Amino acid sequence: MMSNLINKTEYEGNGCAGSNSAYDLMIRTNHRLIKGGELTEAQKESVVRGLLGAKTPPDIKRWGSMYPIFFIPPERNNKKLQTVVPMSPKTEILSQNAYELEIIRLLFMFAGQNDEIKHMTNETLKRLKKTCFGYKRCATGECFESSVVVLRFLSAVAPKQTDWIKKQISVFNGHYFNKRRHSGVLKYFWMCLYEMPFEIAEPEIMRYRDNILAQTSRRQNDLSEDIQEVLAHIINNTLALSQINNTKEKRIDGNY
Taking the C-alpha atoms of 10, 16, 21 and 25 in order, what is their torsion angle to the nearest 10 degrees? 50
Long-range contacts (CB closer than 8 Å, 24 or more residues apart) made by 2-8 = 2/32, 2/35, 2/36, 2/37, 3/31, 3/32, 3/35, 3/225, 3/226, 3/229, 5/31, 5/32, 5/226, 6/31, 6/32, 6/37, 8/43
Residue type (1 letter), 193: L
Is the pLDDT score of 133 beyond 80? yes
Contact (CB, 8 A) for 124 and 101 = yes
* Mean pLDDT comparison of 15-19, 73-77, 119-123, highest-scoring range: 119-123
Averaged pLDDT for residues 220-248: 77
Contact (CB, 8 A) for 16 and 25 = yes
Overall pTM > 0.85: yes
pLDDT at 245: 39
pLDDT at 34: 97
pLDDT digits (tens, 9 = 90+) for 160-193: 999 999 999 999 999 999 988 988 999 999 999 9
- Dist. CA 96–CA 99, nearest whole Å: 5
Angle at which helix 41-52 crosses helix 22-34, to 10 degrees, equals: 150
Cα 176 from chain centroid (whole Å)? 18
Taking the C-alpha atoms of 232, 159, 143 and 176 in order, what is their torsion angle to the nearest 10 degrees? 50
